[in-house]
Chains A and B, each alone.
Chain A
Amino acid sequence: MKLLDKLAVLDRRIIYLCVGIAVIVPMLIPLNLPVDITRPVRNVYNKIESLPEGSVVLVSTDYDPGSEAELYPATEAVIEHCFRRNLKIYMMGLWPAGSALGEHALDTIAHVHSKHYGTDFVNAGYRPGGAVMLLSLGRNFNDVIRVDYAGRPIDSLELGRRVKSAKDIALVMTLSAGDPGVIHWVQYFHARFGTPICAATTAIMAPREYPYMNSGQLVGLLGGLKGAAEYETLVHRKGRGLTGMDSQSIVHVLLVLFIILGNVILVYERRKKSAGRAG
C-alpha cells in the first residue's frame, strides 16, 4: 500500500508528462489503429455522394485557429470529396478568421484537382451579422455578398452570378466551433428555406447537435477530430485527422486508467481514515 500512498501525492506534472509521451510517440511510430465509421459521418458522405455533378455546396468556415486542430482536417476532407465529385464550392464564414483557413484549404486541394477559381469554387469570405444575415442571404445572396474574399465583385465570377438565393444551394456544410454556427444554419437557414444542412463541429459541441440529427434537421455530423478521421477514411485520404487518431486512442486509454487509479486511491484513503478513527 506504500505505492498507493505515494501515488496519492503524485506530482501532477508527471501526469502531464505521461499524456505528452502518449501523444508524441504514436505520431512518431504510427500504430494505424482501425477507425470505425459511425452513422452520422456516413450520412454526410452519402449526402455528398448523392448530389448531381455541378451542384453547389455552400461550405461555411465558422471557426478560428483555436479550433483548427479539430475542424481543419474536416475542411480539407470535405473539400477533397466535393472536388472529386465535381461539385462547386461556394465558401463563406460566420467567423472572421475562418475564411483564411478555408482559403488555405481551397488553395491546397484545388490545384490537385485542376479546379479554377470563379468557375469551380469561390470564397466570399467572412460575413458578419449572424442570424439576421442568414435570413437575408437565403432570400438574396447579392444583398449580403457583393465582393469575394479578395475584394473582387462577386458578379464578375461565374459561380458568383449563378448563386442567387438558397434555392441554388444543394447542401450547406458548416464547420462550426460555436456561436454563430451550426445552430444558426439549422434554426434560420434550414427552417426558413429548407436547404439540407451537414455539420462538422468540435467534439464539445457534438452532443448538443445529436437531437438535430434525430429530428432530421441535420443530415449528418462529423464530431471533432474523430469525425474528421472517419471522413478521411471514407474518402481514402490520410490527413491530420487519421494521423492524430492513434494518439487520441492511446491518450483515452491512459486517461481511463488514471480515472480508475484516482478512484482506487480515493477509496483507499477513505478506508484508511475511517480505520484510523476506529483505532
Chain B
Amino acid sequence: MLVTTIGIWIGALLTLAIYSFLYRDNPVYKVAENIFVGVSAGYWAVVLWFDFAWPNLFAPLVQGRIYYLIPILIGIMMFAPLFPKISWLVRIPLTFTMGVAMAVAITQYIQGDIIPQLQGTFLPLRGVTFFTAFSNLLIILGVIFTLIYFYFSKEHKGALGAGAKIGIWFMMVSFGASFGYTIMARVSLLIGRVYYLLHDWLRVVR
C-alpha cells in the first residue's frame, strides 16, 4: 500500500513537473525530462535482453542447440563496417534481412491490403437505400479523383486538371478529419493526466 502511495506521488509530481513547461522552460521540467529519457533507455535495455535476445537466441543455445550460433554469427556481421578490411561482410545480414522482409511484406501486402481494398471500392449504387448509394458514390469518386491527382505522367490540364483539383478537395476533407481526430487524441491525453491527478492522487473525483 505504501509503495503504491509513493508511486502515485512520484507520478503526480513528475506530471506537474512536465506540465510546468507550459509556463516556461525551467530546471524542474529538465529534471523530469532527463528522468524520462534515462528510465526509457533502461527499460528498453531490459526488454531487448529478456524478451528478444535471451528467449529467442541465448536460451536455446545454452540448451545445446548449436545451430543457433548461425544467427549470432550473422548478427555479429552487422558490426563489420567498423573494420574497413571486412566491411563487405555486412552485406550478408543486410541481404538476409531485406530478403525475408520483402518476402513476408510483399505477399501479405497484396493479399491483406491491395486486393481487399480494391474489392472495397466495388460498391453497389442500385438496390440500396438512397443514403447508402450516395455514400458509396462518394467513396468511388473519392478513390478515382484522388488517384487522378497522383497521376504525374501527364500535365494536369483540362479534364485531368479538373479531376486532380477535385481529388485535392477529397484529400482536404481527409486531412481535416485526421486533424480533428488528432485534436481529440491530444485532449484525451490531457484528460488522462488530469484524471490521474484528481482521481488517483487528490481523490476528489470518483
What does DSSP make chain A's interface, helix, strand, loop or mixed?
A: helix
Of the candidate stretches A84-92, A200-208, A267-275, the one touching chain B is A200-208
A213 to chain B, nearest CB (A): 9
- Nearest-neighbour CB distance to chain B for A73, whole angstroms, equals 9
Q: Does B71 contact A (CB under 8 A)?
A: no
Judged by a CB distance under 8 angstroms, whether B51 is at the interface is yes
User: Which applies to chain B's interface (DSSP): helix, strand, loop or mixed?
Assistant: helix
Q: Contact string, A179-216, partner B, CB cutoff 8 A, digits 1/0?
A: 00000001110111000000000111011100100111
Chain A CB within 10 Å — which of B108, B174, B185, B187 has the most? B187
Any B CB within 8 A of the CB of A113: no
Within 8 A of A (CB), among B20-69: 22-23, 43, 47, 51-52, 56
Q: How far is the CB of B96 from chain A (nearest CB, A)?
A: 13
User: Which of B100, B108, B205 is A243 in contact with, Cβ under 8 Å?
Assistant: B205
- The answer to whether B184 and A252 have CB atoms under 8 Å apart is yes
Q: Which stretch (B83-91, B111-119, B148-156, B159-167) binds chain A?
A: B111-119
- A203 touching B188 by the CB < 8 A rule? yes
Q: Is B182 an interface residue (CB 8 A)?
A: yes
Contact (Cβ within 8 A) A191 B112: yes
Choose one: B43, B47, B139; the contact of A214 (CB below 8 Å). Answer: B139
Per-residue interface assignment for chain B, residues 181 to 206, with 1 indicating a CB less than 8 Å from any chain A CB and 0 otherwise: 11111011111111100100000110
Residues in B with CB closer than 8 Å to A157 are: none
**Any chain A CB within 8 A of the CB of B70?**
no
Task: List residues of chain B with CB within 8 A of the CB of A97.
Answer: 43
CB distance from B46 to the nearest CB of A (A): 9
- We find that the number of chain A residues with CB closer than 8 angstroms to chain B is 47
Provide the bound-state CA to CA distance between A106 and B183, in Å: 30
Give CA–CA (A206, B174) in the complex, Å.
12
When chains A and B are docked, how far (Å) is the Cα of A188 from the Cα of B189?
30
A24 and B188 in contact, given A187-B109, A214-B139 (Cβ under 8 angstroms): no
> What chain A residues lie within 8 Å of B1 (beta carbons)?
none
In Å, the complex CA distance between A96 and B44 comes to 9
Q: Quick check: is A63 within 8 A (CB to CB) of the other chain?
A: no
Beyond A187-B112, A207-B174, A215-B119, whether A24 also contacts B139 by CB under 8 A is no
Q: A28-B204, A215-B120 are in contact. Are A69 and B174 (CB under 8 A)?
A: no
Could you tell me if B182 and A203 are in contact, using CB atoms closer than 8 angstroms? yes
Set of chain A residues within 8 Å of B22, measured between Cβ atoms? 13, 16
* CA A223 to CA B167, docked complex, whole Å: 26
Is residue A264 contacting chain B, with contact meaning CB distance below 8 A? no
Complex interface: chain A residues within 8 A of B187 (CB): 19, 23, 247-248, 251-252, 255
Residue of A nearest to B143 (CB): A211
A207 with B194: CB separation less than 8 A = no
A248 x B191 contact (CB < 8 A): yes
What chain A residues lie within 8 Å of B198 (beta carbons)? 24, 27-28
Pair B51/A69 contact, Cβ less than 8 Å: no
A186 CB to nearest B CB, Å: 6
> A131 at interface (Cβ–Cβ under 8 A)?
yes
In the complex, whether B5 has a CB less than 8 A from a CB of chain A is no
> In the complex, what distance in Å separates the CA atom of A162 from the CA atom of B177?
43
| Interface flag for B82 (CB, 8 Å) | no
Partner of B120, one of A24, A216, A223: A216
Contact A70 B185 (CB under 8 A): yes
**A-B pairs with beta carbons under 8 Å apart, 17 shown:** A19-B190, A68-B192, A70-B188, A96-B47, A186-B112, A187-B109, A187-B113, A191-B113, A202-B185, A207-B178, A211-B120, A214-B120, A216-B116, A244-B191, A244-B195, A248-B187, A252-B183
Residues on B lying within 8 angstroms of A by beta carbon are: 22-23, 43, 47, 51-52, 56, 100, 104-105, 108-109, 111-113, 116-117, 119-120, 139, 174, 177-178, 181-185, 187-195, 198, 204-205
Known: A131-B105, A204-B178. 7 other contacts (CB 8 A): A16-B22, A69-B189, A97-B43, A128-B56, A132-B100, A203-B185, A206-B181
